[in-house]
Amino acid sequence: MNTNEYDVIVVGASNAGGMAACAAAEKGAKVLVIDKMKSTNFLYRLSLAAVGTKAQKKAGIEIDKYQLINYLSAFAQDNVDQKLLWTWVNNSASTVDWLEDNVLKPHGAHLYPETDAHYQTLINTAFPTEHDVTNDKHEDVFYGDWVVEKAKELGAEFLWQTKLEHLITEDGTVTGVLTKNTKTSELKEFKAKKGVIICSGGYGSNEALMQKWNPLGLKKNVYSDSPRDDGSGQLAAVEVGAWRDEEPAEIIFDRGSVPVGTNTNEYYVKSWEDIGYFWMGSYPLLKLNLNGDRVGNESAPYEFDMNRATKQPGYLQVAIWNDATMDNLEQFHTLGCARLNWPGFYNTDENKEEINTRIKEGFIQKADTVEELAKKLNLPVENLKNSVDNYNKMCAQGKDTEFGKESFRLLPLTEGSYYGAVYGGRLLATLDGLRVNTKMQVLNTQGNAIPHLYAAGNASGGFFWGSYPDHVPGLTASHAQTFGRLAGQQAAL
């Protein structure tokens, strides 16, 4: 056999690609995985959604699948393929169980299922889908290298710094890939007898593609936290006739603090580094527009915060808090990755440390009075004073008569020090992609499968629309891993 010939070629070695490689190799296929970068370890995510896992059964967690899929369809206003939602919900547990049994446990790690979710308001409806990858010491465990190791143990080969440039077709069937070595620029062809699986992620760091496929995303977001997302895998599939989602979908954190005076049209930082990272942005603090006016109930999914800002001048928001807020974060009872203390990512001291760092860097302002804070934030002084006074009155009466925020989330700002951050979105990933069917075959614009072409993860579409449902925590990584596994099994047939 020609050494450049494989059964299955997987493009991208992250959540979707690693799982696709393991699944195809388990089925006996000769597998090649290519990735344009050198490693994917940290891209394998710590929070994974699933329904009906062994860990959830042990913890007594029961989720009604019908209720969950109904919620996801409603969240997306049915701009999704419901069959894909059902494919995820029916295969998520076996995928997550496989990961725990075959990858995590042999290395002394396991999954911790989170039991709580809250339902106080319709907008905050949530489901306890989250599993944290951890160990007995309650540490975060990065397991990507273990997935790669497992795939190699099953026989898969990996070529790093190898980028998919174009797909090769013969009579409409995908038969291989043309790749470029990102270090030497050498071009090479590889043949795939059974299929090519595109697991190359999104396009959020390709500004030209953002302008074309998600122009509002460029205004809503001031950071792109996935700098390798250039959309190249999706473009290669489009070249051979693939159909893409026609509307954007995205996962955004409301945690991107920026210097006062930033113009969001000119600020789009693409980096792995946590520049301007402002974890407290995901807390339902007093939040205002750039005129210093409160414009809505701050207690909502992360991304809604930034959606609200798109209806305001300047597309950014301002969060205001004081020392007492930082000492009472527990009272907000935030969940997912905004949870305080383990299994969340921060505790009170770590949050204060982050805020102090951002103050030193000029991303967050601190003042002894509200007037002084207004000046530092470049907000109209009287507007900010009125907004704070009005908010404090509602906190004192225990009722948000303006927008209806839950009473337990009303913390007054009656004494300093006062803090303020101007912030926008951090784009974690784009979620619109190549249309696939339930076998993960990529569809052409007539809705027919392109022979031997598959896609999974953020390169694939039909599953999300608009904003990300972060109250189903861990859904993007689980969508990638579950559909990666299915794509691998299907391509190996």
Give the interface with ligand FAD as residue ranges (CB under 6 A). Answer: 11-17, 34-37, 40, 43, 45-47, 163-164, 199-201, 225-226, 228-229, 232-233, 251, 428-429, 457-459, 474-478, 480
Q: How far is the CB of 419 from ligand FAD (least distance, A)?
A: 24
- Nearest alpha-carbon partner for 303 in 468, 464, 428: 468
DSSP conformation class of 336: G
Of the pair 38, 57, the CB lying nearest ligand FAD is at 38
Q: How far is the CB of 411 from ligand FAD (least distance, A)?
A: 27
Of the pair 276, 296, the CB lying nearest ligand FAD is at 276
Question: Do 454 and 196 meet the contact criterion of CB atoms below 8 Å apart?
Answer: yes
CA distances from 210 to 217, 237, 253, 405, 430 (A): 7, 17, 17, 34, 9
Q: How far is the CB of 471 from ligand FAD (least distance, A)?
A: 13
In 312-369, where does DSSP find H-type helix?
323-327, 348-361
Instruction: Determine the straight-line distance between the first and last CA of the chain, rounded to whole angstroms.
Output: 19
Of the pair 100, 225, the CB lying nearest ligand FAD is at 225
Of the pair 169, 289, the CB lying nearest ligand FAD is at 169
Locate 236 and state its tokens.
Answer: 């290669």
Q: How far is the CB of 381 from ligand FAD (least distance, A)?
A: 37
Give the β-pairing of 449-455 and 157-159: unpaired
Give the CA dihedral 277, 283, 286, 287, nearest 10 degrees. Answer: 50
Of the pair 43, 395, the CB lying nearest ligand FAD is at 43
Distance CA 94, CA 34 (A): 26
Of the pair 201, 466, the CB lying nearest ligand FAD is at 201
Question: Do 289 and 309 meet the contact criterion of CB atoms below 8 Å apart?
Answer: yes
Of the pair 133, 290, the CB lying nearest ligand FAD is at 133
Q: How far is the CB of 228 from ligand FAD (least distance, A)?
A: 4
Distance CA 336, CA 472 (A): 9
Q: How far is the CB of 17 from ligand FAD (least distance, A)?
A: 6
Q: How far is the CB of 458 from ligand FAD (least distance, A)?
A: 4
Q: How far is the CB of 222 from ligand FAD (least distance, A)?
A: 14
Locate 253 and state its tokens.
Answer: 């954190």
Q: How far is the CB of 230 from ligand FAD (least distance, A)?
A: 6
Of the pair 44, 419, the CB lying nearest ligand FAD is at 44
Beta-strand runs (E) in 95-238: 109-113, 130-135, 157-159, 162-170, 173-181, 187-198, 221-224
Distance CA 52, CA 59 (A): 11
Of the pair 207, 415, the CB lying nearest ligand FAD is at 207
Of the pair 319, 475, the CB lying nearest ligand FAD is at 475
Of the pair 95, 458, the CB lying nearest ligand FAD is at 458
- Nearest alpha-carbon partner for 80 in 487, 456, 455, 436: 436
Distance CA 250, CA 337 (A): 17
Give the β-pairing of 250-257 and 418-430: antiparallel
Question: Which residue's CB comes closest to ligand FAD?
Answer: 457
Q: How far is the CB of 331 from ligand FAD (least distance, A)?
A: 24
Burial pattern 104-122, b for ≥16 Cβ within 10 A else e, equals beeeebbbbbbeebeeeee
Q: How far is the CB of 463 from ligand FAD (least distance, A)?
A: 11
In 169-253, where does DSSP find H-type helix?
207-213, 215-220, 232-239
